């Protein structure tokens, strides 16, 4: 009886260690291998957030989106390259930050280009500094040259 | 007469452009709650909105909580969850403050400056006074800034579960870098 308890406890401990190890060693999938939940134009995405931001946040936050639109700005700081698609009238904008190793593709992008980007949408916040909506993306990839 | 008008216009315009608030939408926050036991609780947010007013020394930033990117999906989920940042209810973290030694910083002269900053950090609806020093590097027209805050999770209503003891720092650092 005692032996059984020891064996079962030992097995349980192994399972717990296994699950913990698995959870802690998990990594986000490369965006190239992730299917997108929505395909949308930058203009329509901004419209949806401006019309009803809570509804749009519910729909798009934490989802994978493929967005096509006109680049209005490429922002660089140190090793970071962010791409922006802004609505000049309202000041609201979509900003894409990228996953690692995308820099090589990004460095040729300039304002005025029309591009296709896939990434994880973090929803929008209303910026009091800019008095505009900021729709942010993380872990993005550029799809232009990969179709 | 015309000359005076022209001169006045030029000086007014330069004054306006100088007093303009500088902003960026690509400031970066590195969040680091790693401990010797666990190096995973680290995240980066590369789309922080930041502002620097060269005339009165006001500084501010706003970060979308959901846009903090972790390497580990479980940690990112915990970070956004109700016990931690509760990003559904509190989608942004903000800072508003002032440079206290503005007279020591010349934004139009190339060089490295140290700024003393005091202000209020708003995380998860809790507003706390904070102070830090920032490095300011003026090169030509560009102004690169960098500051680090060490915060106490308890101050902002974030309680660590017992299971996380030792694995997640109770005093994580928030490093903000912004180029204007």
Q: Which A-chain residues 81-140 have CB contacts (< 8 A) with chain B?
A: 82, 84, 93, 95, 97, 122-125, 127-130, 134, 136-139
User: What angle (nearest 5°) sits at the alpha carbon of residue A118, between those of residues A114 and A122?
Assistant: 115
> For A26, which of B24, B72, B179 is closest by C-beta distance?
B72
Residue A18 forms part of a structural domain: no
Lowest-confidence segment of A20-34, A43-57, A110-124 by average pLDDT = A20-34
More reliable by pLDDT, B10 or A56: A56
CATH number for the domain spanning A142: value is 2.40.50.140
Report whether B146 contacts B135 (CB < 8 A).
yes
Q: Does residue B132 have a pLDDT over 70? A: yes
Q: Does residue A146 have a pLDDT over 50? A: no
| Partners of residue A134 in chain B, C-beta under 8 Å | 25, 47, 49, 62, 64
Highest mean pLDDT among B19-28, B30-39, B131-140: B131-140
Q: Does residue B1 have a pLDDT over 60? A: no
Q: Does residue A62 have a pLDDT over 60? A: yes
> For B92, which of A28, A80, A125 is closest by C-beta distance?
A125
* ipTM, two decimals: 0.86
**Inter-chain touch A122–B74, beta carbons under 8 Å:** no
Residue B99's pLDDT band (cuts 50, 70, 90): very high
* Domain enclosing residue A100, as ranges: 31-146
- DSSP letter, residue A87: -
Q: What is the mean pLDDT of residues A110-136?
A: 95
Q: Does residue A22 have a pLDDT over 80? A: no
Total domains, chain A: 1
**Inter-chain touch B25–A128, beta carbons under 8 Å:** no
Alpha-carbon gap, residue B83 to B85, rounded angstroms: 7
> For B179, which of A77, A124, A134 is closest by C-beta distance?
A77
**Per-residue confidence (pLDDT) for residue B11, from 0 to 100:** 59
Residue B35's pLDDT band (cuts 50, 70, 90): confident
Going from the C-alpha of A140 to that of each of A32, B146, B165, the distances in angstroms are 9, 25, 33
Residue A24 forms part of a structural domain: no
Residue A3 forms part of a structural domain: no
Residue A96 forms part of a structural domain: yes
Q: What is the mean pLDDT of residues B121-143?
A: 94
CATH H-level superfamily of B20-179: Lipid/polyisoprenoid-binding, YceI-like (2.40.128.110)
Residue A60 forms part of a structural domain: yes
Q: What is the mean pLDDT of residues B145-149?
A: 95
Q: Does residue A60 have a pLDDT over 90? A: yes
**Inter-chain touch B71–A27, beta carbons under 8 Å:** yes
Q: What is the mean pLDDT of residues A51-80?
A: 92
**What ranges do the domains of chain B cover?**
20-179
Q: Does residue A28 have a pLDDT over 60? A: yes
Residue A15 forms part of a structural domain: no
Percent of chain B residues topping a pLDDT of 90: 68
Q: Does residue B179 have a pLDDT over 60? A: yes
Residue B6's pLDDT band (cuts 50, 70, 90): low
Q: Does residue A101 have a pLDDT over 80? A: yes
Q: Does residue A147 have a pLDDT over 50? A: no
**Per-residue confidence (pLDDT) for residue B170, from 0 to 100:** 87
Lowest-confidence segment of A88-97, B36-45, B118-127 by average pLDDT = B36-45
**Inter-chain touch A77–B28, beta carbons under 8 Å:** yes
DSSP symbols for chain B? -HHHHHHHHHHHHHHHHHHSEEEEEEEEEEEE--BTTBS--EEEEEEEEEEEETTT-EEEEEEEGGG-EESSHHHHHHHHSTTTT-TTT--EEEEEEEETTGGG--TTS-EEEEEEEEEEEEETTEEEEEEEEEEEEEETTEEEEEEEEE--GGGGT----GGGTTTS-SS-EEEEEEE-
């Amino acid at each position: 009886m005692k032996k059984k308890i020891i064996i079962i406890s030992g097995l349980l401990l192994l399972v717990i260690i296994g699950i913990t190890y698995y959870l802690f060693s998990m990594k986000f999938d490369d965006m190239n291998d992730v299917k997108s939940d929505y395909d949308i134009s930058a203009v329509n995405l901004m419209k949806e957030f401006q019309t009803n931001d809570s509804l749009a946040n519910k729909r798009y936050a934490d989802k994978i989106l493929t967005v096509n639109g006109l680049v209005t700005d490429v922002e660089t700081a140190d090793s970071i390259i962010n791409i922006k698609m802004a609505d000049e009238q309202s000041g609201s904008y979509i900003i894409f930050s990228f996953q690692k190793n995308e820099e090589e593709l990004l460095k040729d992008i300039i304002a005025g280009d029309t591009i296709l980007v896939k990434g994880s949408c973090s929803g929008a916040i209303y910026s009091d500094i800019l008095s505009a909506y900021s729709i942010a993306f993380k872990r993005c990839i550029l799809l232009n040259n990969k179709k | 007469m015309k000359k005076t008008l022209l001169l006045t216009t030029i000086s007014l315009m330069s004054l306006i452009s100088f007093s303009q608030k500088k902003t960026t939408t690509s400031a970066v926050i590195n969040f680091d709650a790693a401990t010797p036991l666990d190096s995973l609780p680290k995240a980066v947010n590369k789309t922080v909105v930041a502002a620097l007013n060269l005339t009165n020394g006001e500084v501010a930033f706003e970060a979308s909580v959901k846009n903090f990117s972790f390497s580990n999906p479980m940690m990112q989920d915990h970070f956004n969850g109700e016990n931690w940042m509760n990003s559904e209810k509190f989608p942004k973290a903000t800072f508003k403050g002032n440079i206290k030694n503005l007279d020591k910083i010349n934004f139009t002269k190339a060089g490295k400056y140290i700024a003393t900053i005091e202000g209020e950090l708003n995380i998860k609806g809790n507003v706390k006074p904070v102070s830090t020093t920032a490095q300011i590097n003026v090169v030509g027209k560009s102004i690169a800034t960098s500051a680090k805050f060490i915060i106490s999770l308890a101050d902002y209503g974030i309680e660590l579960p017992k299971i996380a003891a030792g694995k997640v720092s109770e005093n994580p650092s928030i490093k903000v870098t912004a180029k204007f």
